[in-house]
Amino acid sequence: MPEGDTVWRAAAKLDRALTGHRLTISDFRVPGYATWDLTGGTVIRTLSRGKHLLTRIDADRAWTLHTHLKMEGSWHVYPEGEKWRRPAEQVRVVLGIQTRKAVGFSLGIVEIVPRQDEAALVAHLGPDLLGPDWDEERALHNLRAEPARPVGQALLDQRNLAGVGNMYMAELCFTSGIHPATPLHLVGDLPRLVRRAKQMLEVNKERAIQTTTGDLRPRERMWVYRRDTSPCRRCETPIRVEMLGEPGRERAAYWCPSCQPADF
**Could you tell me how far CA 86 lies from the centroid of its own chain?**
21
Write the DSSP assignment of 177-208 as a string of letters. T--TT-BGGG-TTHHHHHHHHHHHHHHHTT-S
Reply yes or no on whether 3 is catalytic: yes
- Quick one: which of 57, 66, 64, 53 has its CA closest to 9? 53
Q: Per the residue annotation, which of 2, 127, 150, 180 is the catalytic one?
A: 2
Q: Per the residue annotation, which of 51, 56, 149, 205 is the catalytic one?
A: 51
Q: Could you say which DSSP state residue 138 is in?
A: H
Longest dimension (CA), the chain: 61
Reply yes or no on whether 87 is catalytic: no
Reply yes or no on whether 2 is catalytic: yes
Question: Using CA atoms, how far apart are residues 36 and 157, in angstroms rounded to an integer?
Answer: 33
Q: Per the residue annotation, which of 144, 226, 233, 251 is the catalytic one?
A: 251
Reply yes or no on whether 101 is catalytic: no
Question: Using CA atoms, how far apart are residues 6 and 51, in angstroms rounded to an integer?
Answer: 8
Contact status, residue 50 vs residue 80, Cβ threshold 8 Å? no
Q: Could you say which DSSP state residue 237 is in?
A: P
Q: Per the residue annotation, which of 3, 171, 180, 198 is the catalytic one?
A: 3
Q: Where are the alpha helices (DSSP H) in 3-96?
A: 4-18
The residues annotated with a catalytic role in the active site are: 2-3, 51, 251
